[in-house]
Amino acid sequence: MPDRQFGFETLALHAGQIPDAATGARALPIYQTTSFVFDSADHAASLFNLQTFGNVYTRLSNPTTAAFEERCAALEGGRAAVATASGQAASMVALLNIVETGDHIVSSSKLYGGTHTMFNVNFKKFGIDATLVDPDEPENFRAALRPNTRAIFSETLGNPAINMVDLEAIGMIAREAGVPFIVDNTAASPYLCQPLHHGADIVVHSATKFMGGHGTTMGGVVIESGKFPWGNGKFPSMTEPSAGYHGVRFFETFGDFAYTMKARMEVMRVFGPTLAPFNAWQLLQGIETLPVRMDRHCANTMAVATYLQSHPKVAWVNYPGLSSNRYHNLVKRYMPKGAGALLSFGIKRGKISSYEAGVAFIEGLQFISHLANIGDAKSLVIHPASTTHRQLPEADQIKAGVPPDMIRLSIGLETIDDILWDIDQALAGAVA
C-alpha cells in the first residue's frame, strides 16, 4: 500500500488488519486460544528472550488482540499500545509501569470514582502517594510537583464533572518537570480528541465505553506516543536491567516503544489483566462505527442540552458544547468535531429535596436506562453522588465535580424527539 496519511474513518475500519492470508476471510478471525506452537526450541528461546516478535501465550499477546491494539494506536496517533481487561486496568497498568514505592503522582481531582479510589486508597497501600488538584487552573499541577513526582494524570473530559482540561498547558508543565502526562481520553474518544497531538505522552481508554459502543464488552487500552525521553534519569526501571525479565534494558532495546514492551512484559505478564480475544474482536466491531456514532451522539446531546437550558423545571445544565459553558472555548480548541455525549443538570426541586427530585425523575423515565455506564448507543442516566462517587465524603464529591443534585445523562442514538419526550415527561412528574 502506498505511503498515505489515511483518514480517521478509514483507520477505524482497516488499521491493524489485512484479509486473512490462509483463508481469505475479510473479517478478522477470533484466535480463541491460550497458547501458540513454537517452531523449534531455538524459536521458543528467542521469543522468551524478546529477540523475536511472536505469540507465546494470550496473557501476553494474541493476533486478534494485536489488531485491536494497533487500531487504537493508529486512531490516537500513537506508536504502540497494550490492551487490558477493563478501563480501570488500563489506568493501573499505565501507572504501575513507571511508579513504585516512594513515588508521587499529581492528578486532576475531577476523576471517575474508581480512579479516585485507586489513587487515594489502593496506591497508598503500595507506598505511592497522589496529590489531587483542581484542574481548571493548570498551574495547580506545577504547584503540586515534588522531587519524587513521576507522572501527571488527568481526564480529557472529566467524568462525571464534564470539565475540559487545557491539555497543552498541562503537557508543558509535565515536559518541564521531566515526567509523562497521562490522559484518560474515554469520555471524548479518539474521534473527538487526540491528546497525543496536544502534549500528552500516554493515553488510556475504557474501551468498554464509546469504542465498544453497545454496552456489551469490557476492555481497556494504553497507548504511548513513543516520544517521551525515558532516559532522563528519573525512570531507572526503563533504563537499568530488568529484575523481572531477564535483565533486559527496555529503553535501550526497544526505543520508541519501550514503555509498551515494559508494560506488557513486567505488568501484564505478572498481574494478568488481559483482554480476551473475543472481547478484542467485539471492540473492533464497535470501533468500525465510532465516527458515525460520535457524530450522532454529539448532535443529540447538543439538542438535549439546548432543550434543558430553557426548561422551566431545570436549575442548571453543564455541557461544554453550550456557548455559555465555562469550558466551551477549550472544547472548541481540542474537540472541534463536537463536545461529546455526556451532560449533567440539576432540577428545580421546589419543596422536596434534590435527592427526591432526582429519584422521581430517574424513575419516571420510560426508555432511558438507569445504570452505571456511559458510551452506549442507548441513552443512560445516573445520580453520581449516590452511586459512582458514593464512597467519597461529600467534600471530596464536590472537589470531584459532583454536587448532590447532579443527574448525569449519556445521550444515545435514539430519535431526538423521542429522547426529548422521555426527558420532558419525567421532569413533569419529578416536581409538582
Domain boundaries, the chain: 8-286, 290-430
pLDDT of residue 214: 97
Average of pLDDT values for 137-157? 98
In 3D space, the residue among 257, 235, 97, 111 whose CA is nearest the CA of residue 178 turns out to be 235
CATH fold of 290-430 reads: Aspartate Aminotransferase, domain 1 (3.90.1150)
Take residue 48 and report the three cell numbers written for it.
522468551
Phi, psi of 181 (to 5 degrees): -100, 115
Question: What residues form DSSP beta bridges with 205?
Answer: 221
Tell me the per-residue pLDDT of 218-276, one tens digit each, with 9 for 90 and over: 999 999 999 999 999 999 999 999 998 989 999 999 999 999 999 999 999 999 999 99
Quickly count: other Cβ atoms within 10 Å of residue 355's Cβ. 14
Tell me the per-residue pLDDT of 151-183, one tens digit each, with 9 for 90 and over: 999 999 998 889 999 999 999 999 999 999 999
Phi, psi of 420 (to 5 degrees): -65, -40
Instruction: Count Cβ atoms within 10 A of the Cβ of residue 56 and give its class: 0-12 exposed, 13-18 middle, 19 or more buried.
Output: middle
pLDDT of residue 388: 67
Question: What residues form DSSP beta bridges with 203?
Answer: 183, 223
Class of CATH domain 8-286 = alpha beta
pLDDT of residue 386: 75
Question: Comparing 22-31, 96-105, 254-263, 419-428, which segment has the lowest mean pLDDT?
Answer: 22-31
User: Distance (Å, rounded) from C-alpha 299 to C-alpha 383?
Assistant: 23
DSSP characters for 81-148?
EEEESSHHHHHHHHHHTT--TT-EEEEES---HHHHHIIIIIHHHTT-EEEEE-TTSTHHHHHT--TT
Average of pLDDT values for 31-59? 93
Question: What residues form DSSP beta bridges with 3?
Answer: none
Residue 259: C-alpha distances to residues 171, 213, 236, 248, 296 (Å): 18, 28, 12, 13, 35
Question: What residues form DSSP beta bridges with 115?
Answer: none
pLDDT of residue 367: 97
> Interior CA angle at 274 toward 154 and 44, to 5°?
125
Percent of the chain topping pLDDT 70: 97
Kindly tell me if the per-residue pLDDT of 1 is higher than 50. no
Which residues have C-beta within 8 Å of that of residue 395, sequence separation ≥ 6?
none
Q: What is the pTM of this model?
A: 0.95
Kindly tell me if the per-residue pLDDT of 206 is higher than 50. yes
- The residue type found at 153 is F
User: Distance (Å, rounded) from C-alpha 62 to C-alpha 75?
Assistant: 20
Instruction: Count Cβ atoms within 10 A of the Cβ of residue 127 and give its class: 0-12 exposed, 13-18 middle, 19 or more buried.
Output: exposed
In 3D space, the residue among 105, 66, 109, 113 whose CA is nearest the CA of residue 87 turns out to be 113
User: Distance (Å, rounded) from C-alpha 409 to C-alpha 370?
Assistant: 9
Do 197 and 211 touch, CB atoms closer than 8 A? Answer: no
pLDDT of residue 21: 83
Is residue 80 within a helix (H) or strand (E), and if so which, with residue range? strand 80-84
Tell me the per-residue pLDDT of 289-300, one tens digit each, with 9 for 90 and over: 999 999 999 999
Order of strands across the sheet with 80-84?
80-84, 220-224, 202-206, 181-184, 149-155, 104-108, 129-133
Indicate the average pLDDT of the chain. Answer: 94
In 3D space, the residue among 73, 66, 146, 130 whose CA is nearest the CA of residue 96 turns out to be 130
Query: Between β-strands 202-206 and 181-184, what pairing exists: parallel, antiparallel or unpaired?
Result: parallel
